[in-house]
Amino acid sequence: MSPHTIAATHAVVHHHHHDPRRHRAPPLRRCSRGVRAVRASAATATPTSGAAAAADSPSAAFWDYNLLFRSQRAECRDPVALRVAEGAIPPDFPAGTYYLAGPGMFADDHGSTVHPLDGHGYLRAFRFGGAGASYSARYVETAAKREEHDAGGASWRFTHRGPFSVLQGGARVGNVKVMKNVANTSVLRWGGRLLCLWEGGEPYELHPRTLETLGPFDILGLGAGAGDAAAHHRRRRPWLQEAGIDVAARLLRPVLSGVFRMPARRLLAHYKIDPERNRLLMVACNAEDMLLPRSNFTFYEFDADFALVQRREFVLPDHLMIHDWAFTDSHYVLLGNRIKLDVPGSLLALTGTHPMIAALAVDPSRQSTPVYLLPRSPEAEAGGRDWSVPVEAPPQMWSMHVGNAFEGPDGRGGTTLRLHMSGCSYRWFHFHRMFGYNWMNKKLDPAFMNVAKGREWLPRLVQVSIDLDKGGACRGCSVRRLSDQWTRPADFPAINPSFANRRNRFVYAGAASGSRRFLPFFPFDSVVKVDVSDGSARLWSAAGRKFVGEPVFVPAGGREEDDGYVLLAEYAVSDHRCHLVMLDARKIGERNAVVAKLEVPKHLTFPMGFHGFWADE
């Protein structure tokens, strides 16, 4: 039931009975522009001509926002060659595949429209080899998808409520089909397997080339019976309190698994890769944690053949929701988003008039962010620090995505940890209003994602610094902007993956240029490149009625950290067309940053994706 907390990042929904193309404003002249250094005080562009004003009107903003998540029923099983619409694929671009996960179906044929986070997983693959590139896309054949889509492929009928949605044309009251594993959040290629992950269930495995669904992959079962590889850690509460929580957990488990079909342990959608040790790191939590004032986290580390190397379990005395996380050589790092049970929301959810996620609410009672530094190894645990007591970061921040984390000696016998990440305000984050979802009118309202109040509420890039002394005790913790030159909303921080878990200089993120008056903050229309060493920022933007998804860095083989390319999907809502954009990472901020644009056939235009993965051949 954990939401994809990328709060400003994933998208919007459009009901199939309404065609927003009838309401579109005339398209703007298309161009790309680069900005060498970007400052937060830059003025928002104001339309001057009649055509520009129409394209930047409240009506155009509303339909552009909803067009970004328009259902795509067609699959592309046989790869089609992509036309190079601009530039050329560079000769040093490596052979490989860019996989992009995300939802594809939001509206059925019986009046129901679901939240983007409950949309069925639709995997896109851009394959590079030789002198060209090809595209294919298929739905992930989950159990829920097979139930809600007839075998002939002509009709859809949603029967699962999903954690974030309310059905209009299906059963509401008494409908216990809540956990709708749609495998739509992230994608991973590891150990010869291609996996699509979701926040509340097991991954689904697909064929790396044909994208055919092979079935569920019991990755947590690989860690069963690990013997000495497993370690369990719990902080003891007062006996009566701990006993009461244990009793509640035992009562909840059969209800959640037997009635609501929730897995006993749910895998988080975000994973990490340790390039130094060539390991895949994943984390799972218990289903009942969502309703109890404690949190169970189990960390798994797999080698290149998916053999379990290590499993460590921690029980924390805090009611937390984790979407993304980090690791260093010595620690697993959790930035805790504090939540609480919402009793009135729970009652409304049970009536079927509100999404099930309404049972939870953020807990802003403490004006700080808990950072749990959990020992990754027995050696790290031997330091004596009580890992169950978090480091309290000074501002209250809802953690969203982590770009990188690393640690090193501080010159005084201690250790310094750094995290480059994105976060937003508790005052802005709202579970069942995420992306402006409105189950009453079957549309998404862009106003929620573009709140007119302070920008500090919205997702932003920050650096968290933690100083530990010789014994592991916290000597200081600070949170500051990653760049003083970039203060506009941004999310999806990415780095050169070769620099994961060690000091990096550059961070790339999706960002808002502010060029549209009525969509100033989201959807993102730019990629910002932040130089952490001096705080400078450079920007590439897609002008006009175009928006972009998550950036992914593809190394080109050179020694310099920014020697490579940034891939991202561009959505031209004015043309109802998608492009895969290739940027030269070194030239972001210059006019010739675009290396190539590859055009997806118009009939295969896809909705905005969530997270992607680059797999070298």
The answer to whether 136 touches 123, Cβ cutoff 8 Å, is: no
Residue 401 labeled ligand binder: yes
- Asked if 222 and 306 touch (Cβ cutoff 8 Å), the reply is yes
What DSSP element (H or E) covers 416?
strand 415-424
Q: Which of 220, 223, 218 is nearest to 205 (CA)?
A: 218
Question: In angstroms, what CA-CA distances link 186 with 26, 103, 194, 510, 536?
Answer: 35, 10, 11, 17, 30
233 annotated as belonging to a binding site for a ligand:
no
What string of DSSP letters covers 312-376? EEEEESS-EE-S--EE-SSEEEEE-EEEEE-HHHHHHHHHTSS-GGGGEEE---SSSEEEEEEES
Q: What is the distance between the terminal CA atoms of the chain, rounded to a whole angstrom?
A: 35
Phi/psi at 258 (5° precision)? -80, -40
Question: Residue 268: which of 200, 319, 205 has the closest Cα?
Answer: 200
Of 614, 357, 351, 350, whose CA–CA distance to 498 is shortest?
A: 614
232 is in an annotated binding site: yes
The owner of tokens 């590139």 is 133
222 SS3 class: helix
DSSP secondary structure letter of residue 559: S
3-state DSSP assignment of residue 51: helix
- CA–CA distance, 60 with 470 (Å, rounded to integer): 58
H or E stretch including 298?
A: strand 295-302
Full DSSP string of 124-191: EEEEEETTEEEEEEEE---HHHHHHB-TTSS-B-----TTT---SSS--TT----------SEEEEET
Question: Would you tell me how many other CB atoms lie within 10 Å of the CB of residue 430?
Answer: 14
| Separation CA 489–CA 422 (nearest Å) | 9
Q: Tell me the three state secondary structure of residue 75.
A: coil
Chain centre distance of CA 459: 12
List, as one string, the DSSP characters of 435-493. Answer: GGEETTTTEE-TTGGG-SS-GGGS-EEEEEEEEE-TTS-EEEEEEEES-SS--S-EEEE
Record the tokens describing residue 560, joined without a space. Answer: 């310099």
Q: Is 603 annotated as a binding residue?
A: no
Give binding residues for Fe cation as ranges: 232, 323, 401, 611
Give binding residues as ranges: 232, 323, 401, 611
